[in-house]
Amino acid sequence: MKIVTNYLKLALACLAFIPTIATAENPEAPKLKVLIIDGQNNHNWKSTTPVLKDALDSSGVFVATVSTSPPKKSKPEEWAKWQPKFSDYDAVLSNYNGEMWPDAVRKSFVDYVHKGGAFVCVHAANNSFGKWKEYNQIIGVGGSGLLHSGQTSYSVNLGLYAVYRCFMMKGCHVIQTKLTIL
């Protein structure tokens, strides 16, 4: 649990560091809207999502909303009802590792990121979709340790705020992280 807690702290620090400086200069600045995606995971998302939401909301910088996918093995009708509107948010934080999203949701997500939407995946969310080419191009490398498109590092899109880079060592999880301020 301590390792998971450390990953959560790192992800939240990446999200919170730069906007905190910006709001210190302008306390009237609007809060950044974050959409947390959960609903399936090989880790306990029902416990970690509330921690993520509370940390973001209590920062004074973010306001977080949770969108929970249908449970595993749901019928297509249930999946058709789940349509997160990514474009309504400044950032998307994924705490999801499960079944493939429907085509319309995947297209909406890819469009959001390609238009500059911010995205952070928490721990197991980096290996959610091994067969979804665009997702793996967005994150560059998943928890499986497989590099995509000849990359040796990957960046999670955080808009103009920061670039979060993780360097991989063959056969290991992330061994070094750093935050680069643009």
Instruction: Please tell me which of 12-21, 23-32, 123-132, 168-177 the model is most confident about, judged by mean pLDDT.
Output: 123-132
Query: Of 112 and 148, which is predicted with more confidence?
Result: 112
Distance from CA of residue 107 to its chain's centroid?
Answer: 16
| Model pLDDT for residues 123-139, shown as the tens digit of each residue | 788 788 888 888 887 87
Strand-pair category, 153-158 with 162-168: antiparallel
pLDDT, greater one: 13 or 95: 95
**31: pLDDT strictly greater than 50:** yes
Question: For 132-167, how does the pLDDT look when each residue is reduced to its tens digit (9 = 90+)?
Answer: 888 887 876 555 544 444 444 444 433 322 323 332
Q: Which two tokens stand for residue 85?
A: 């509107």
Note the pLDDT of residue 177: 36
pLDDT in tens, 56-107: 998 888 999 999 999 999 999 999 999 999 999 999 999 999 999 999 999 9
| More confident position, 128 or 45 | 45
Q: Which residue did the predictor score with more confidence, 38 or 118?
A: 38
Cα–Cα distance measured from residue 33 to residue 41, given in angstroms and rounded to the nearest whole number: 23
Altogether, the residues listed in the chain come to a count of 182
Buried b (16+ CB within 10 A) or exposed e, 35-59: bbbbbbbebebeebbeebbebbeeb
Cα angle for residues 137, 141, 144 (degrees, 5° grid):
130
Q: In the structure encoding, which two tokens stand for residue 114, read together?
A: 């390609």
Q: Which helix (H) or strand (E) holds 77?
A: helix 76-81
- Over residues 41-69, the mean pLDDT reads 92
Domain extents in the chain? 2-181
The pLDDT assigned to 111 comes to 94
Q: Which pLDDT value is given to residue 120?
A: 86
Residue 12: pLDDT over 80: no
The DSSP string of 6-71 is HHHHHHHHHHHHHHHHHHHH-TTSPPEEEEEEES--SS-HHHHHHHHHHHHHHTSSEEEEEEEPPP
**Rounded Cα–Cα distance for residues 170 and 146 (Å):** 9
DSSP secondary structure of 81-132: H----GGG-SEEEE---SSPPPHHHHHHHHHHHHTT-EEEE-GGGGGS-TT-
Please give the biggest Cα pair distance in the chain. Answer: 49
State residue 87's pLDDT score: 96
Of 1-5, 23-27, 157-161, least confident by mean pLDDT is 157-161
At the top level of CATH, which class does the domain 2-181 belong to? alpha beta
The reported pLDDT for the residue numbered 40 is: 96
Neighbouring-strand partners of residue 32: 62
Backbone angles phi, psi at 163, to 5 degrees: -120, 125
